[in-house]
Amino acid sequence: MARKSNTYFQFKQFRVDQGQCAMKVTMDACLFGALVNVEESRRILDIGTGTGLLSLMAAQRSLAHIDAIELDDNAARQARLNVAQSPWSDQITVIQSAIQRFSGTPDGYDTIICNPPFFENSLKAPDKQRNMARHTCNLGFDELAEAINHHLTHSGKAWVLLPVLSTSSFLKAIESYSELKSDQIISIRSKPERQDHRHVLTITKNRVGVPGDRTPANILIHTETGGYSDRVKELLSGYYLNLLI
C-alpha cells in the first residue's frame, strides 16, 4: 500500500500523499477514522487534519460537509492536494488556522474528530515540524476541550484519539465544562500480549442524566498468529487494498 519510501498511501477510493507532513498515515489513525460514526453527520470538524486522512475517510461514508483545520502550512498544502485529487473535493474544505482562532459555523458541528496525537511529557523530537505535530505545545488539552465545547452541537459527539497515558489529563480538562461528558472509551492494542497503547474517547454534550459507558471496549490489531483480527478486517475492509496479512 505504501510506495516510494512511504511518500504516499493508496486506499481503495483515494490516495494520501504524505511527503510534506510530519505525521504519517498509521494503523491507529486508520482504525480511528473507521470507528467514527459519520453516516448521519451533516457537518464535521476535523481538528488538526494533517494529511487530511480522517476527513477523506469520513467523506467516503457520509454526505456531510467537512471543515478540516490544520495549523502547519506544509501539512495544509498536502491536505488540500489530497482532497483535490479525491472524489470528495467539493465536500471537504481545508483551512489553515489554529483552532483557537477558527470561528467555525454558527450552527456548530454534530461530529468533531481529532487525532493530535499528544505526548505531553515525552522527549521532543529534534525536528520542529514533527514536534509541533506530536506535542501539546500548540494545542493543550484545555484548549482542545474549549474548542469541543464551543463548536459541538447540543446533540453532537466528539471523537478523540489519544495515547493511553494522556487519557486522564484530557478527561480532567473535559470536566471544566459542565455540558461535556465522557461517553465511551475504546482501547486499541497491537498484540494480545501487549498493553493498550491508544484510547478512542467519545465526548457528548448536554446529555444530562445519561451515564457514559466508561468501560473500555477493546480492539486487537493482530491475532496470536500475526494476522489482522476479524474486527480490524471488518473496520478497514472498505478502505484498505489488502487485509490478508
pLDDT band at 113 (very low <50, low <70, confident <90, very high): very high
| pTM across the whole model | 0.88
Q: Report CA-CA distances (Å) from 100 to 1, 52, 138, 150.
A: 35, 19, 10, 10
Is the pLDDT confidence value at 54 over 70?
A: yes
Listing DSSP states for 213-243 in one string gives EEEEEEEESB-TTSSBPHHHHHHHTTT-S--
Q: Domain 2-236 maps to which CATH number in 2.60.120.10, 3.40.50.720, 2.170.130.10, 3.40.50.150?
A: 3.40.50.150
pLDDT at 244: 62
Q: What is the pLDDT of residues 205-238, one digit of tens each?
A: 976 544 555 556 899 999 998 899 999 999 999 9
How many Å apart are CA 216 and CA 232, to the nearest integer?
A: 17
Q: What is the pLDDT of residues 80-99, one digit of tens each?
A: 999 999 999 999 999 999 99
Q: What is the pLDDT of residues 148-177, one digit of tens each?
A: 999 999 999 999 999 999 999 999 999 999
Which cell numbers hold the place of 169?
489529563
Q: Tell me the average pLDDT across 95-106.
A: 94
Q: Which of 75, 151, 166 is nearest to 113 (CA)?
A: 151
